[in-house]
Amino acid sequence: MLIDSHCHLDYFRPDEVEDVLARAAAAGVGEMVTISTRLAQAEPLRDFAAAHANVWCTVGVHPHHAAEVPVPEPATLAALTEHPKVIGIGESGLDYFYDRAPRPVQQASFRAHIRAARLAGVPLVIHARDADDDISDILYDEWHTGGPFALLLHCFSSGRALAEAGVRLGGYVSFSGILTFPKSSEIRAIARDIPADRLLVETDAPYLAPVPYRGKRNEPAFVVRTAAVLAQERGLEPAALADLTAENFRRLFRKAA
């Protein structure tokens, strides 16, 4: 069984999401995590996950939206994870490619999410784009000043140094359809070298559909394609890769175990 560790089911129309879930199940994708990008989504995502046995969710503010609301208090974020279907904090992080929020605001929000993940004892789902050095610096600073926290570098498309920093801090690395793109040889090399017990797969649906669906709307069923490429790079049978990443998922997201 494969698990799509990161998707956005609320980005699908309400009248089509059940078909999306059915196609995922038919493809062998047994579970998925629908990810929050705004705090206003917390209750709707929680209710959707509660209504579907194979769906989990997170709570958090994407760096694109960090300036739309005051930086959340860590305790407030942590309290939102008390529901059994809320298994993580995020996605949060830094995005210096689009810069839709001022960088100091993104950084303050990122630190608040780190502290919330530590308080709640759940993983932090990290968005990283064109901000490797600052993400690494903040992770190390928060780790050494406040203590350990669980983390996941999602949809990995950054440099090797950030992947290695995340792993050194006990973190996990998730690969999306980007892994399948012809020009992603560096990402595939990183995926080959990540310790086996730190690997996850995802879609980031509806974005970043893998080959041969590139350019089309992505959906959780397509994580099978990304997993197949990752299995090939790692020298594993697809079933073994599915078992490995599912085991890693449950170790990281302990509430989903």
User: What is the per-residue pLDDT across 167-187, written as a single tens digit (0 to 9) for each?
Assistant: 999 999 999 999 999 999 999
Quickly tell me which residue has 């996850």 as its tokens.
200
Angle between helices 185-193 and 223-234 (to 10 degrees): 70
Tell me, what's the pLDDT at 52? 98
Q: Cα separation of 115 and 145, whole Å?
A: 11
Residues 58/116, Cβ–Cβ less than 8 Å: no
Peptide bond before residue 14 is cis, with ω within 30 degrees of 0? no
Work out the pLDDT band at 108, boundaries 50, 70, 90. very high
pTM of the model: 0.97
DSSP 20-45: HHHHHHHHTEEEEEEPPSSGGGHHHH
Q: Cα separation of 207 and 200, whole Å?
A: 17
Q: Does the structural domain 2-256 have CATH classification 3.40.190.10?
A: no
Tell me, what's the pLDDT at 29? 98
Residues 29/2, Cβ–Cβ less than 8 Å: yes
Tell me, what's the pLDDT at 117? 98
